[in-house]
Structure formats: structure tokens, C-alpha cells
Copies of this chain bind each other. A is one copy, B any other.
Amino acid sequence: MTTTARAYAATSATEPLIATTIERRDVGPRDVLIDIAYSGVCHSDIHTVRGEWGPITYPQVVGHEIVGTVSEVGADVTRYAVGDRVGVGCMVNSCRECVNCLAGMENYCLKGNTQTYTSIDRDGTVTQGGYSTHVVVTEDFVLRVPESIPFEAAAPLLCAGITTYSPLAHWNAGPGTKVAVVGMGGLGHLAVKIAHAMGAEVTVLSQSLSKQDDGLRFGADHYYATSDATTFDTLANTFDLVVNTVSAPVDIQAYLSLLRLDGTIVNVGAPAEPLPVSVFALMGNRRSFAASGIGSISETQEMLDFCAEHNISPEIELIAAADINAAYERVLTSDVRYRFVIDASTI
């Protein structure tokens, strides 16, 4: 029996999101039904509903930073029980057969993982995201949210948190390493907190110094404005790792010049157009240019547990669902410190 859920949906690329209802699939043997408590607002949501990443089918509900409480479990579910505090991030399934899935790296599924919204689900319908009161997800793609993380603040960890945690962990941010975080938005402010907790020396590279006090409070050791050209001279050949959270095209050569020997710049956002990369800039200091996409399910759980252990919470602004369209406009002007989260009880 399907579940009727309330939701906020886009009906076209140009119109505001509106309140509606959607049907969630039957709770299958391995599924859990989640009563959504909070849903984070990611810039990706806006790109998607506005068709900026390609045409989509409307109506479409977005949102992939979901926390809630399990309210029903299928007959074969073993990991979760009614009442559990859980989360769902950017993906809700994968092929489970390719070499990456078999290695537990579902986020790099070679057939493309099933994203939380706009993907074709196993029942043939288009997946619908978290701006909603309920969602049904196979237990294998459900995370456990530690009790010590405030529920509403946990939501952004499911995308912004894992997206920054994964490259920091993979490229060994830690004691003795120098990490730069480019951009102080939803992803960047979490990258600062996580990298600091990992023990790295953290530098923020932001367009201006307007968020400097926040950055230092979140754990940054240094804070520079990229609008100041001397920044790039001052910091030349400095960093082991630069995590670029800015999706818009940047002057990648300028950031490459900041890497010391064997340093890596990793993009966690992707501009639509290719970036021109000078091989000479890579060859100096044997630098690498890489990109990272969210994280695996096991790594997402590891991240949540890490955040609980280190008292890391995103900085959020809680909004009612009816405010979502205004919130979108504020995201587009970077007028949010640092993540909007929808109170699902208002949907």
C-alpha cells in the first residue's frame, strides 16, 4: 500500500515550488518508511528544478539532506526499527553489481547510482526527494543519526557533510597537513569544521573577509580574501590539499599555484563547462587536479559518527516550507549562514 505524503514540488523550470501530495511506494521487504523531520536545502536542488543541469520531468520534489524517524519497516529489515533516528543523503540505491559497488563505493557506481531525486527508481517511477513528510528507502541506503547531533542540524551532513568529509579523509587531512578550503558556504563551513577536527592546519580562501570571524570560530587557522591578488603570492606552494567547494568556474591555475609538492586540488562541485588546465602548472610540484562526489554509505556513517564524536554541527537557519522560494533567492545571493533546513512539520 502506497503512502500519500505532503511535499513541495517544482512544476516547471520557472515557477515557484508549490505544496502538493505525492505517493511513496509500498514498503518492500527491505524498505523503511521514514517520517521526515527536517530536510536541508542544497544549491543542487535549485540547479535541478530550474533545469540548469538538463531537462527534468515535472512535477519534481527535490531535497537530499533528509533526517527523520523510522515509522515502518519491511519484513526483512534487520538494521533499523520503528523509532530509530535516521538519515538519507544523495542516493537511495545503486546497481550493486559493478566493481565499485562491490567494493562498497556505491557513490561511484559505474551504472550511476539511483539519486534521491530525478533518478528512475526500481519501480520505474522518478525518485522524489526530501521536501516532503515521508520517504521510503531500502535500508541499505539509510544512515543512523547519532543522538548527540541536534536533529535539525544533522540534515546538511547528509550531503554537505559527506561531500567535504570524503575528500578530506581520502587525501589524508590531519596533523601536519595544510588544507585550504575555497568558499565559505554550506559546504565550505563544514569543510572547515571537519578539517580542523581531523587535526589539519586550515586556511579559508573566500572572496572577501566578510565571514572571517565565523571562519576562525569554526576552526580555521588562517583566512584570506581571494579578491586580494597578493593572497596568491603569499600562499604560493603552501598546501597539501585544496578543497574547492565553489561550483562556478574558477581560475584553476591560480589555485594550483598554491599547492606544495605532491599537493592536490579537489573539486567537490562541478562547473558545467570544462576548465582550462595548464599542464605546466601541474608539472611544477607534481600537482594533481581531482574531483570527488559525495561518499559511500559506509563512509557517510563514519562521517556522522565522526561529527558526533567531535561535536560538529552545521550552522543552520530553520525555515517553514512556505518560505522555500524566498530561501532559494537568498541561496543564490549567498545570503545564508550557512544552510537552510526545512522543518518538515510545516509541509
B289–A289 touching, CB < 8 Å: yes
B289–A290 touching, CB < 8 Å: yes
Decide if A347 is an interface residue (CB 8 Å cutoff). Answer: no
B274–A278 touching, CB < 8 Å: yes
A260: B residues at CB distance < 8 A: 99
Q: How distant is the Cα of A291 from the Cα of B261 in the complex, in angstroms? A: 12
Among B110, B170, B279, B290, the residue within 8 A (CB) of A282 is B290
Q: How distant is the Cα of A278 from the Cα of B110 in the complex, in angstroms? A: 17
Q: How distant is the Cα of A291 from the Cα of B288 in the complex, in angstroms? A: 7
Among B170, B279, B291, B292, the residue within 8 A (CB) of A271 is B279
Q: How distant is the Cα of A261 from the Cα of B281 in the complex, in angstroms? A: 24
A282: B residues at CB distance < 8 A: 267, 289-291
Q: For chain A, residues 9 to 48, give those with C-beta under 8 angstroms from any C-beta of chain B.
A: none
Decide if A254 is an interface residue (CB 8 Å cutoff). Answer: no
Q: For chain A, residues 245 to 296, give those with C-beta under 8 angstroms from any C-beta of chain B.
A: 253, 260-261, 264, 267, 269-271, 274-280, 282-293
Q: With contacts A103-B261, A275-B276 known, is A170 near B286, CB below 8 A?
A: yes
Q: How distant is the Cα of A279 from the Cα of B274 in the complex, in angstroms? A: 6
Q: How distant is the Cα of A285 from the Cα of B293 in the complex, in angstroms? A: 9
Q: For chain A, residues 295 to 335, give those with C-beta under 8 angstroms from any C-beta of chain B.
A: none
What is the total number of copies of this protein in its complex? 2
Q: How distant is the Cα of A321 from the Cα of B129 in the complex, in angstroms? A: 72
Residue of A100, A275, A276, A291 contacting most chain B CB atoms (<10 Å): A291
Among B108, B170, B267, B280, the residue within 8 A (CB) of A285 is B108
Decide if A105 is an interface residue (CB 8 Å cutoff). Answer: yes
Q: How distant is the Cα of A287 from the Cα of B100 in the complex, in angstroms? A: 13
Q: With contacts A276-B275, A277-B289 known, is A283 near B261, CB below 8 A?
A: no
User: Which residue from chain B places its CB closest to the CB of A166 in the assembled complex?
Assistant: B286
A278: B residues at CB distance < 8 A: 274
Decide if A237 is an interface residue (CB 8 Å cutoff). Answer: yes
A274–B276 touching, CB < 8 Å: yes
User: Which residue from chain B places its CB closest to the CB of A278 in the assembled complex?
Assistant: B274
Q: For chain A, residues 210 to 263, give those with C-beta under 8 angstroms from any C-beta of chain B.
A: 237, 253, 260-261
A280: B residues at CB distance < 8 A: 270, 291
User: Which residue from chain B places its CB closest to the CB of A267 in the assembled complex?
Assistant: B279
B291–A287 touching, CB < 8 Å: yes
Q: With contacts A261-B100, A261-B103, A277-B274 known, is A292 near B288, CB below 8 A?
A: no
Minimum CB–CB distance for A17 against chain B, Å: 26
A-B contact pairs, 22 of them (CB 8 A): A99-B260, A100-B261, A100-B285, A105-B261, A264-B288, A269-B279, A270-B280, A270-B283, A271-B279, A274-B277, A274-B278, A276-B277, A279-B291, A280-B291, A282-B289, A282-B290, A283-B291, A286-B291, A287-B290, A287-B291, A288-B290, A289-B290
List 3 A-B pairs, minimum CB-CB distance, nearest first: A282-B291, A274-B276, A283-B291
Given contact pairs A270-B279, A286-B292, a sample of 13 additional A-B residue pairs in the complex whose CB atoms are under 8 Å apart: A100-B285, A103-B261, A264-B288, A267-B279, A269-B279, A270-B283, A274-B276, A280-B291, A282-B289, A282-B291, A287-B290, A288-B289, A288-B290
